[in-house]
Structure 1
Amino acid sequence: MKNNLSNSTRLILLHPYIQKQGSSNRLWLLALVSFLTLAFLATLIYTRESITTTTSTVAAVVAAANPRLSASVSRALIHYASNSNNSDHMTYTDMKHISDALRQCSQPCNLLVFGLTPESLLWRALNHNGRTVFIDENRYYAAYIEEKYPEIEAYDVQYATKLSEMKELIVAVKEQVRNECRPVQNLLFSECKLGLNDLPNQLYEVEWDVILVDGPRGYWPEAPGRMAAIFTAAVLARSKRGSNPKTHVFVHDFNMKVDRVTSDEFLCRENLVKSTDTMGHFVLDRMDSNAVQFCRNTHSPPSNSS
């Protein structure tokens, strides 16, 4: 029995080398885990610092960047636009006057343009980083331009005026200058015959820095003429309440008598700072909300000729 027990019993001994190897493996595993942990923490810290540094650098670059096009780029754009094959384009001088006004903005300009013309893309480009809005009488053409050039913001408006009615319309404004046709008001709620009250609501809240009247059509008696566009520009300029009290208003085709007469009535000769054969440049100040007169000097009712 004893012999069987002694024969069946086996003593299992672990060699010291095996014990040493297991302990060493654990140490190496612990060291590896520690190394990876430290590496992860270092990477995380470095990445966060790198992101912060990069963000600060980009912010500094953006803050230092000039939001406007350089003068040389503006001149190049105007040069090529004025030398296009389109016979209806503006002259270089007229384009440059508008470009100079846009460059006077201390921040990106709000530019309102009545009329979609061959220069529309030029105005959008010159008003770099600013907001440029176009108003046109032809809804189909406005939709076509927006589809072809998605960066263009254009709206259509229905004019209820006729060129042949200029005299009567101006007289009607004078009769209502203390009520519906005030020089300072929100035209959205106006029933003035020359006020455009069907523009998108948000456009009446924009502080326009530059307004260009280059539409609608006005070359025959039944055409809508630019009386409503000029009157609306005059009211928008005088009604602004932002930090910049002045608005540049340009009237193209200033050689047309209707445009000159309407400009005299609502933009006013005392505000005319520069003119060429085809362009009138006015600078208007905002007015007190109680103002009941567009100009310091009044004019007699115009003749009905154009």
Structure 2
Amino acid sequence: MKTNNNGNNTKLILLHAFIQKQGNPNRLWLIALMSVFALASLLTLVYTRESFHTTTTTHITATINHQHQSLPKSVVKALVHYAANANSTDHMSQTDMKQISDVLKQCTSPCNFLVFGLTRETLLWNALNHYGRTVFIDENRYYAAYMEEKYPEIEAYDVQYTTKISELNELVTSVKEQARNECRPVQNLLFSDCKIGLNDLPNQLYELDWDVILVDGPRGYWPEGPGSISAIFTASVLARSKKGGNHKTHVFVHNYNREVEKVSSEEFLCKENLVKSSKDLLAHFVVERVTAESGTNQFCHNHPTTTTS
């Protein structure tokens, strides 16, 4: 029904007439009660789902955080024991393995572990850092490819070293001369032309904040061999150039009794950062992050005067 005078009043009168015509107020109360019940059920369902989601998420997060802490002590002991007693003469001692495993256990979040050298302990390091990321760098591209094919869980990359052990003195001198330019202690090595800095690693590796670094390669037992000077220099720059995470990086140098390892470590990792050395075979350094704003162009506070004969 339409009206030419006041449509609003007409609609109100028609609605009123409809209600009066029904003449059953109990039905209206029933509809209202059902509406309230439906609303209450909907709110209960929403609250229950949110509560379940929150509880589940909290539980999963707590489980993941717990897993990130470390492997069970019994598993760690067994791995180190069997690795140390393997039928091989060129593996790391059990004491030295334990030093590294103890530091890996201290990571409060997934640990970023960088290892220079594919050695007898490769599977051990990858297993001990089970919840973190372990990356291996080796000079032999065929061996790196072989290890990745045989053990898909291994992440390995090859790199070309241009250094020679016989050139140790000249290389150290060149770094000192370029300490304010290409060989700065704080920089992104991806864009560096420092002679002993490794700048051909995958780009992503320069962006990671490394918690632990182990230098156990490349080979360095004959004059024309590459030696570990590039690896040690690169480790020192990566440690000082961290952008986040823990301010400290644990750097281990194996075969510290050899001339190249000792000289390079004292030049770039520094004696004041030396925490412990095990029978002069494994040296443990803790290197602090340095901000670019500090303006420092010196690796060590008390710079060594170590030279080779």
Q: What TM-score, normalized by structure 2, do the two folds share?
A: 0.80
Name the CA distance, whole Å, in 1 between partners of 2:51 and 2:114: 39
Name the CA distance, whole Å, in 2 between partners of 1:136 and 1:270: 29
Q: Which runs of 4+ in 1 moved over 4 A?
A: 49-59
| Corresponding position of 2:59 | 60
Paired residue secondary structure (1:283)? strand
Gaps of 5+ in 1: 1-44
Gaps of 5+ in 2: 1-43
Q: Cα distance, 1:104 vs. partner?
A: 1.1
| Corresponding position of 1:263 | 265
For residues 198-221 of structure 1, give each alpha carbon's deviation from its aligned partner in whole angstroms, at most 9, with x where no partner exists: 000110000000000000000000
| Corresponding position of 2:302 | 297
| Corresponding position of 2:220 | 218
Name the CA distance, whole Å, in 1 between partners of 2:60 and 2:303: 52
Count of residues in correspondence between the two structures: 260
| Corresponding position of 1:39 | none
The amino acid across from 2:308 in the alignment is: S
Q: Indicate how the Cα distance of structure 1 residues 218 and 71 shifts in structure 2: closer, same or farther if over 3 A, else same.
A: same
Larger radius of gyration: 1
Name the CA distance, whole Å, in 2 between partners of 1:57 and 1:181: 50
Q: Cα distance, 1:50 vs. partner?
A: 9.5
For residues 37-69 of structure 1, give each alpha carbon's deviation from its aligned partner in whole angstroms, at most 9, with x where no partner exists: xxxxxxxx99xx799859944751552333220
| Larger CA deviation: 108-117 vs 69-78 | 69-78
| Corresponding position of 2:100 | 98
Contact 1:195 1:231 in 2 (8 A): yes
Name the CA distance, whole Å, in 1 between partners of 2:53 and 2:173: 63
Name the CA distance, whole Å, in 2 between partners of 1:169 and 1:276: 27
1:122 aligns with 2:115: no
Name the CA distance, whole Å, in 1 between partners of 2:174 and 2:239: 21
| Larger CA deviation: 229-238 vs 59-68 | 59-68
For residues 247-301 of structure 1, give each alpha carbon's deviation from its aligned partner in whole angstroms, at most 9, with x where no partner exists: 0000001111210111000000000000012100000001121220000011225
| Corresponding position of 2:247 | 245
The amino acid across from 2:67 in the alignment is: N
Contact 1:273 1:282 in 2 (8 A): yes
Name the CA distance, whole Å, in 2 between partners of 1:50 and 1:282: 51
The amino acid across from 1:204 in the alignment is: Y
Name the CA distance, whole Å, in 1 between partners of 2:264 and 2:129: 27
| Corresponding position of 2:22 | none
Q: Cα distance, 1:173 vs. partner?
A: 0.1
Contact 2:67 2:131 in 1 (8 A): no
Name the CA distance, whole Å, in 1 between partners of 2:51 and 2:155: 36
Name the CA distance, whole Å, in 1 between partners of 2:251 and 2:276: 11
Name the CA distance, whole Å, in 2 between partners of 1:103 and 1:272: 20
Q: What TM-score, normalized by structure 1, do the two folds share?
A: 0.80
Paired residue secondary structure (2:185)? coil
- RMSD of aligned C-alpha atoms? 2.1
Name the CA distance, whole Å, in 2 between partners of 1:178 and 1:54: 54
Name the CA distance, whole Å, in 2 between partners of 1:151 and 1:50: 38
Q: Indicate how the Cα distance of structure 1 residues 51 and 140 shifts in structure 2: closer, same or farther if over 3 A, else same.
A: farther
